Amino acid sequence: MITLKEVHTKKDLKAFIKFPFKLYKDSEQWVPPIISQEIKTFSKKENPVFNDADARLFLAYKNNEIVGRIAAIINWLEVKEQNQKKMRFGWFDFIDDIEVSKALLNEVEKIGKSYNLEYTEGPVGFSNLDKVGVMTEGFDSISPMVTWYNHPYYIKHYEAANFQVEKAYSESKFPFKNVKPETFFKAQELIKRRYQLKALKFTKTEEVMLYADKMFDLFNESYASLASFVAINDVQKEYFKKKFISFVNPEYIKFVVDKDDELVGFAIVMPAFSKALQKMNGKLFPLGFRHILHAKKNSKDVVFYLIGIHPDYQNKGVHAVIFNEYYNIFKEKGIETCFRTPELEDNTAIHQIWKHFNPVVYKRRKTYRKNIA
């Protein structure tokens, strides 16, 4: 018999966060989250997303043992302002037992119905900067820190619960040696002259922070047309600056500005932290920071986390300016492999940007949907 328990205490929250550590203890590909950061993610005091969202966390028990978990999420900006009557769910993990996964999904469906929502979709987070999608291909590859990993059997559980595919994402990679500067060097010089643009170089995190708010504004503008996009508000900007910027080498953040110093393009690249996180096993102390700092300084792999171009400058080659800046710093640091985070498979514009580097898709993932109205 499966019983569900809603998370209300610190003890239960830690159990919720630590469940995957047991589920994936024998996996060489799973990347543990930082436990303290996960706790902050679900803290109404720490995470400003709770100003506009609600979340209820559930644990599934069988024979007095935790066998599954799920986060039921409602983003009220999405529901009320965009009229998307969607019940979100994420952090969905479970043993290979259909009764367990169905019990958790049924609880999400019940909550959605109580608010007169029309459908449920997952796995997703609170916003577009959270992890997304259940993996459907690429189980033999280690996952970036900004994605979820899951066992192959997850897919049959969605199908058994009568969920349909909603969105498809792909993750690709390419060796840095595939990057040929002649494909963008002359173009970027012409583009900078034609549109009076310049690239900014940073050596300190404090320098990046001066432009961080503008970056999030541009993120909102450049991604607004994508499916299920929810804009980042001013309070969330502060939260994400603290959460992400400190992990990024300042020289891996590239901004392009016009003659008036207005931001028209940006990109954020992160060192590959996955192996460091595996060594940390969820703990920053006592040695976790050392693994993070070592990877930040020495990783030969990088992950393209975000790239955005102002709508007025899209299809005008601004990405060539950005790639030229990265080429120089990557060559200097001896970077070997470039990875891309999940991108919608129908986002043809972003795929066109990377075509000259001959990327290879090494993972695919999907979100699933079920009508509940």
Domains parsed from the chain with CATH numbers: 2-171 (3.40.630.30), 175-363 (3.40.630.30)
In the chain, the percentage of residues whose pLDDT exceeds 70 is 99
pLDDT, greater one: 284 or 107: 107
Question: Measuring CA to CA, which residue among 35, 30, 29 is closest to residue 15?
Answer: 35
Confidence of residue 225 (pLDDT cuts 50, 70, 90): confident
State residue 227's pLDDT score: 63
* Burial class of 60 by CB neighbour count within 10 A (0 to 12, 13 to 18, 19+): buried
**pLDDT above 90 (res 271):** yes
Token pair belonging to 46: 């720490």
DSSP character for 85? -
**pLDDT above 90 (res 321):** yes
CA distance 206 to 292: 20
- Quick one: average pLDDT of 354-372? 95
CA distance 348 to 372: 31
**pLDDT above 90 (res 355):** no
Phi, psi (degrees; rounded to nearest 5) at 341: -75, 170
In the chain, the percentage of residues whose pLDDT exceeds 90 is 77
Considering the entire predicted model, what is its pTM?
0.93
- Quick one: average pLDDT of 64-76? 97
Question: Measuring CA to CA, which residue among 80, 90, 150 is closest to residue 126?
Answer: 90
Mean per-residue pLDDT over the chain, rounded: 93
DSSP character for 144? P
**pLDDT above 70 (res 228):** no
**pLDDT above 70 (res 187):** yes
State residue 325's pLDDT score: 94
CA distance 336 to 36: 31
**pLDDT above 80 (res 224):** no
